[in-house]
Amino acid sequence: MASVFLYHVVADLTVGKPELVEFCETETVEAAIKAIGDSTECGIPVWKRKTHAGIENTEMRQQRFVGILNSLDIVAFFAKSECLEDHDKALKTPVSEVVAHNNSLLRQVDPGTRLIDALEMMKHGVKRLLVRKSVVWQGMSKRFSILYNGKWLKNMDTSSSSNNLGPSSNRPSSSTTTSARDKFCCLSREDVIRFLIGCLGALAPLPLSSISSVGAINPNYNSIEATSAAIEATQKLPEDPCAIAVLEQSQDGQYKIIGEISASKLWKCDHLAAAWALANLSGGQFVMGVEDNVSSRSLKDFSVNQAAGNHNLANGGGSTKPKKFSSRSIGFNAANPSLAVSRSMYRGRSAPLTCKVTSSLAAVMAQMLSHRATHVWVTEDESDDVLVGVVGYADIMVAVTKQPSSVVPPPGRSTENSGIVNDVHN
C-alpha cells in the first residue's frame, strides 16, 4: 500500500474547495439546469429542506440527502412525450420528480478520515464526501495525519488543536470556529484523482503500468447500436459511469464505438434541443450530427416556445421561429457537415474519449482530468475503435489501492492483450 494513502487525510483535499450551497428538491428543473452549468461537476447533490432550526447531527443530514442530478437525467426527462408537448410545464417541474433517489451516493466524513478509507467508500459507490470546513484544518497537511497508540486521530477540538498551531496569534477565534461548524464542502472522485495524479512518484511504478495489467478495464458497459433509436439509451440509465456507448457494427462483425450519450457530454448542452434529438433520432444520428443541409434525411421542424428561448435552453436564443434540428443546437460541432463521409474522419465535440488497452494508468487519469470526463472508453490495441470496455473513477481507485502482489505485470506479448479482448467479448 502506497504511503500516500496512509499519511494523508481528506482535509488535505479540501483546501480551496468552495462552501457547499444546498440545492433543494423543491427547486425547478429550470433552476437545476443553471446550477449544473455553473457547477464544477456535471451533476449536483439534491437535498430535502431543513424541517427545524439548529444544529443537525450527521444522521439527520444524511437523511436529508436525496441523490445526484445530472444533465442526462434532465435530457431523458425532457425527451418524454408530455414534456416535448409542454416545455413550460417541464421546466417548472420540481427536481424531486426527476432526480434518481439514492441516499448512498454521499457520505459525511470527518476531516481526519484517512485517504485510504475515503477511497474504500468511493470504490463501493460513494460519489461525494461531505467534509466540514474548519478553520483549524485549513492549510494543514500531514500535521494531523499521525497514528497515536494504534488509533487514527480524528478532528480535534479547538483547544487541543491550537496547541499544535504555534503562537496564539495564529489561533482561530472561538466565534470563527463556531461559524464554521455548519459549513461544509463536497469532495468528488475527480478531486481525489486530481490529488493522486500529483502524487505519481509515490505510486510508482503503478502509474506506468498498462490499464489492462492493473485490471482497470471494466467490461460491463451500457451500449446501443447506431441504428437503434437514441431514446433506447434512457430505458435504464447507468449509474457509474453515467454513459451509454453508441456502437456501429463493422463488416467483420466487430462493434466499433462512434460516440456516446452521457452526462459529461451533455453537461453544458441545450437540454431541450438534445431531448428532441433523443426522442426523434437514431443513436448514430444523435452522436454523429445531423445538419440542416442533409437533404436525404427528412426531419420535422423543431421549434421552441418563447419561455424556453428566453432562458437560452434551446437553440441558443429567444426567437420562436421554427428551426430544423441541427447538431449545432445541441452543442455538437462536426468538422464535416455531411454524414456521407467516412465516420473515421469525424472530429467533433461529440467524439468519444478513448484509449488503448496498452495505455498507461497515468495517461488515462490525465485524459479524464484534461477533458473533465468521468470515464474513458477502451479500444483494442490492434484495431481502431473496437470497444473493449470502459475505465471510470471507481476502476482507477480499485487499481491504485491493490496490493502489489495482485497487480499483474505488463504483458510482454500481444497474445496476452488479445486474450483480454476475447474474454470481454465472451
Mean of the per-residue pLDDT values of the chain:
76
CA distance 219 to 221: 6
pLDDT in tens, 111-153: 999 999 999 999 999 999 999 986 454 444 444 333 333 344 4
Cell of 65: 440527502
Cell of 140: 494543514
pLDDT in tens, 161-186: 333 333 333 333 333 344 445 789 99
Tally DSSP H helices, then E strands, for the chain.
18, 16
What number is the average pLDDT over the span 339-363? 68
**pLDDT tier, 329 (very low <50, low <70, confident <90, very high otherwise):** low
Contact 147, 116 (CB under 8 A): no
Q: Is residue 310's pLDDT more than 50?
A: no
* Alpha-carbon distance values, 183 to 55, 158, 161, 162, 405 (Å): 11, 16, 19, 20, 42
Find, among 261, 213, 253, the residue nearest to 383 by Cα: 253
Q: Is residue 160's pLDDT more than 60?
A: no
Q: Is residue 84's pLDDT more than 80?
A: yes
Does residue 82 sit in helix, strand or coil? helix
Which pLDDT belongs to residue 181? 59
CA distance 251 to 398: 36
Contacts of 334 (CB under 8 A, 6+ apart): 288, 289, 291, 327, 346, 347, 348, 350
Which pLDDT belongs to residue 161? 38
Which pLDDT belongs to residue 322? 41
CA distance 49 to 3: 41
pLDDT in tens, 255-299: 999 999 999 999 888 999 999 999 999 999 998 876 433 333 334
Which pLDDT belongs to residue 1? 54
Give 271-298 as a DSSP string.
HHHHHHHHHHSBHHHHHH---TT-TTS-
CA distance 24 to 32: 10
**pLDDT tier, 204 (very low <50, low <70, confident <90, very high otherwise):** confident
- Per DSSP bridges, beta strands 375-379 and 387-392 are antiparallel
Q: Is residue 339's pLDDT more than 70?
A: no
Which pLDDT belongs to residue 4? 82
CA distance 24 to 63: 13
Instruction: Give the bridge partners for 64, in sequence order.
Output: none
What number is the average pLDDT over the span 189-214? 92
Cell of 77: 426527462
Please give the domain boundaries of the chain with CATH numbers for all domains. Answer: 3-135+183-206 (3.10.580.10)
Which pLDDT belongs to residue 185? 92
Report the Cα 118 to chain-centroid distance in Å: 17
